[in-house]
Amino acid sequence: MGKAERRRRANAALATLRTVLGRALGAAAAARTAAEADRARAEFEHSVHSMGFGAAARSKDIRARVDADPVLREVWQRLEAERDRSYTEWNTAVLPQVRALVADAAPGAAGAEGHDWLRVPGTGGEPPRLWRVGRAAVEHAADEFPLAVPLLGHGHLRINSTHGARAAVDAIVETLLARMLATLAPGQLRIHIWDIGHLTGPLPNLHPLSAERLLTVHDPTLLGDLLATLAGHIRRAHDSALRDGRRTAHGPGDPWRVTVLFGNGERLPDELTHELSRVARTGPDAGVHLVLVDVPVSVNSPLETITFTGPDVATSSMTGRGVVVRPDPPLPAAEVAALASGVHERVRAFRGGPRSFADLLAPAPRHFARDELRTPIGFAEGEPVEVVLGDATPHALIAGPSGSGKTNFLYALIGGLASRYSPMELELYLLDFKEGVSFAGLTPGSKDPSFLPQARLVGVNVNTDREFGLALLRFLTAELARRAEAAKRHEVTKLAELREADPDGHWPRIVAVIDEFQALFSGRDRITQQAAALLEDVARRGRSQGIHLVLASQDIAGIEAFWGKPAVFEQCTLRIAMPKAKRVLAEQNLAAMSLPRWHVVVNHDSGVGHGNEVAHVPDASSRGTFDLLQRDLHAALPTAPPRLFDGAHQPDLVHAADFATPSGPLLGQIIDVNDRAAILRLEAAPGRNLAVLGTAVADAFAVLESAALSLARMHVPGDCDFSVWCPVPALARRAEGLAERLRTMGHDVDLRLDDSIARLTPATAERPRYVIFPCVDGAHRWLEAKEPPSMTSGLDRLRALLRDGPAHRVHVLGWWRGVARLKDTMGFGGFDDIGAWVALDVQGSELTTLAAGQVVDWSPRPQRAIFFDRTTHTHPDVLIPFDTSSALDIPKVVDTA
Ligand SMILES: Nc1ncnc2c1ncn2[C@@H]1O[C@H](COP(=O)(O)OP(=O)(O)OP(=O)(O)O)[C@@H](O)[C@H]1O
């Protein structure tokens, strides 16, 4: 092929290509033109839709575009035709359906027009599905239809206002709530209002409801607390649904809670937004619903929105943009207030006035404590608020300043429990470190012989006797050990299982109440250390063994001993805060600060905000409350009376349990949970003498007299002998009194009040001899004289008597006015022959040499002593000398030393 031919072919191919390309490009341009036209049509259609046809028809811009562009005119005509077609269909078929649907779903006061429906409070029944808020109409259509929104049992409502629309917004909210009041049974609606812009005053016509706490207006600064309260309510509703085996948390008969939040259109802080979303998500199932006015928040639960576009026009998410919503006009204020008052009156009549102590009580103590102890302690909005002591909340911590009602709360708690659980199910150990006798009434008194059958021990006036608190804690740890041992035997781990495995055993739950328990830790000493360790142990292990602590205090922050022992606080998951209580709730939880008088925050979640339940506690401590319950229970439940330990009362020797049949000389009452005396062992063995030390005359005599009188009672007359030697003339009367009493009991008494004391008595005897020797050091002036020919002194003979006598059953029970004086008597021989001692007003540091070198932690206090027996004690026992006057048959002697 020639060159020319090749060029021609190439040109032809190029021409063809050009033609093809030209065609293709032309087609593309046409297609593009068509696509652009379609897009313009679609965009136009979209903007008409989104403006709404009515608004578009009024829009100059749209009109101009329609006039200018035939394509758009075509679209406009089509849309117009479509609208006319759908209006016809809407008017003839859909509108009647909508009306019927609203009438059906919002019956009676829920959907009625006008305001006749306002006249009477509701009567209850299944709540309507929809609630009327206003009227709606499709643009350009004359026919209106009622607009109603779903709420109770369904979801929430959001209202977005605009400038000038607040009155209409308030009217919607008020009407909605009024419809509910006129529909639901009185008391079935609880309203919470929070308004960021107002301290008081939102929805004033509904305020009559606040008297019965059917309506609560919350502090604008405390939205967190309100949300925490709602969250707590939701959680408890779920808990009780679980317990009752219900599928929905909102149980039949439970009130509905509608919370109206008036915001200002600004976002809430993240933390509150988060909490609000949580309440919104979980609320509807538990009967908690929100009406959010100008609160921008996205919620993950059913929510309808009404958005105001002008002072009294709005759109709604129910109806879409093309429908104009007009809220119903405001209701007549007086009629709304009358309805609110009517509801309030009915609730008040139904509740029978404010709830009282009697309303806390069960008709009979028939509850089982196998799994837990549960009782109401007060009321919130007329409903009981319960306290639970069980596996999840084994122990309680109660705090509040003086006079805030802690003791009254304890009475409400104890009363509630005692009316439900019999002594087989519940045992109470009650200790009050306050001055005063707050629990004394629970024991038999001279005026009222009744006592609380569940009480096993009552300790009052123990403020200076911290040892008694320690003794209670020791008793509880011993009981823990006993229960743990039984559980092990039955191969179980907790009380509920033990009760099942051992149905005939006596395994009640034990509640130990310690009022002002911080007193236990008031010194930097061994008692504080031991108390903190024991309390921690009981707190840790008590949970599974059904031993519960209820600890009340004015000031928890001040308990230094706990700073290193957080376990006690951690285990006290039940927290009770009285008004203005500090540190008992979690740090961020300020609910106690705003509590009204006689209210408490009950919190089963270690004080974290969402656990808050605010309750009014009825008066449980005035006459005619707890005392009446106690009398009834006492009559119905025969049990032994509780032991009363009264630190202000000197125990009478005659009434001491161990004095009835003494097993040895009684020295005093030991500060202990059990009613027991300190008894000296006086077997025939070296060292079995007693030294009483100190200057407190009455107490020293009381110890010696108690010992002598109990020995006299222990022996049949003629079976033993007594020596009573008293070298101090001023005390002779008392020694004579003792000798006289011993003689009337049939015993032989060698009474000496002069220098004949120095002759002493033989260190051997055929039968026991007890030498009662007050004020030994007072006899030194006679004892020190050396007598010819042997030149031995009375002191030498006394030392020999102390050394040799006990093995031959001659025991000296002497009193020295101090350790140094005892030392003078004993000489270089040391204290080996003094096997036991009772120290009165002697500092602990002076007693070290007498206690085998160990440090004795003792600060003397009136009418208290410590007793140490080298053969039996590791630590001294604290004891209270007995009042011996009735045993001696003499008037009570007052210490004049
Ligand atoms: N819920 C209540 N209703 C009526 N009166 C109450 C209530 N709670 C307490 N009171 C009264 O208030 C007074 C103080 O109460 P309570 O003794 O219980 O306070 P407290 O916190 O234990 O004070 P303190 O620590 O000083 O003993 C008592 O006279 C009591 O009767």
Q: Per-residue confidence at 896, pLDDT binned at 50, 70, 90?
A: very low
Residue type, 663: S
Q: Are 99 and 146 in contact (CB under 8 A)?
A: yes
Q: Which residues of 406-417 are buried (b: 16+ CB within 10 A; e: fewer)?
A: bbbbbbbbbbbb
Burial of 321 (0-12, 13-18, 19+ CB in 10 A): middle
Band (pLDDT 50/70/90 cuts) for residue 879 is: very high
Distance between Cα 270 and ligand 1 center (Å): 40
Residue 236 has pLDDT above 90, yes or no: no
Q: Phi and psi dihedrals of 642, rounded to 5?
A: -70, 155
Greater confidence, 34 or 8? Answer: 34
Could you tell me the end-to-end alpha-carbon distance of the chain, in angstroms, rounded to an integer? Answer: 152
Tell me if 332 CB under 6 Å of ligand 1.
no
Is any atom of ligand 1 closer than 6 Å to the C-beta of 371? no
218 within 8 A of 194, measured Cβ to Cβ: yes
Q: By the 8 A CB rule, do 305 and 177 touch?
A: no
Nearest by Cα to 431 from 540, 508, 510, 517? 517
Task: Select from 170, 189, 171 the least CA-distant residue to 121.
Answer: 189
Peptide bond into 789 cis (omega under 30): yes
Q: Determine the topology of domain 653-888 in CATH.
A: Rossmann fold (3.40.50)
Of all protein residues, the one whose alpha carbon is nearest to atom 13 of ligand 1 is 403
Residue 199 has what pLDDT? 53
Mean pLDDT, the chain, whole residue set: 88
Is 554's C-beta closer than 6 angstroms to any atom of ligand 1?
A: yes
Task: Give the C-alpha distances (Å, rounded to integers) separating 671 from 41, 441, 465, 466, 659.
Answer: 98, 21, 8, 9, 16
Q: Is 543 in the pocket of ligand 1 (CB under 6 A)?
A: no
169, two tokens: 């917004």
Is residue 772 within 8 A of residue 722, CB to CB? The reply is yes
Report the alpha-carbon distance of residue 744 to residue 746 in Å, rounded.
5
- Ligand 1 centroid – CA 329 distance (Å): 50
DSSP state of 93: I
Mind listing the pLDDT tens digit for each residue in 428-464? Answer: 999 988 876 678 899 998 888 999 999 999 998 888 8
Amino acid 894: pLDDT: 40
In angstroms, what is the span from residue 406 Cα to ligand 1's centroid? Answer: 6
pLDDT > 70: what percent of the chain? 93
pLDDT digits (tens, 9 = 90+) for 354-409: 789 999 999 999 999 999 999 999 998 778 999 999 989 999 999 999 999 999 99
Residues 667, 881: Cα–Cα separation, whole Å: 7
- Rounded CA separation 502/32 (Å): 91
Confidence (pTM) = 0.74
Distance CA 817, CA 7 (A): 146
ipTM: 0.97
Q: Is 403 in the pocket of ligand 1 (CB under 6 A)?
A: yes
Instruction: Indicate the DSSP class of residue 840.
Output: S
Residue 880: per-residue pLDDT:
95
Is 405 annotated in a binding site? The answer is yes
C-alpha–C-alpha distance, residues 321 and 49, integer Å: 9
Query: Are 515 and 552 within 8 A, CB to CB?
Result: yes
Mean pLDDT to the nearest integer, 677-689: 94
What average pLDDT does this structure show over 584-596?
88
435 Cα: distance to centroid of ligand 1 (angstroms)? 15
Q: Is the pLDDT of residue 11 over 60?
A: no
Which fold is adopted by the domain 106-341? Rossmann fold (3.40.50)
pLDDT tier, 19 (very low <50, low <70, confident <90, very high otherwise): low
Residue ranges of the chain assigned to CATH 3.40.50.300: 106-341, 358-646, 653-888
Distance 239 CA to ligand 1 centre (A): 32
What fold does the segment set 358-646 form as a domain? Rossmann fold (3.40.50)
The preferred substitution site among 408, 435, 556 for testing ligand 1, maximizing ligand atoms within 8 Å of CB, is 408
Residue nearest to atom 5 of ligand 1 (CA): 619
Could you report the per-residue pLDDT of 755-774, keeping only the tens digit for each? 999 898 988 888 999 999 99
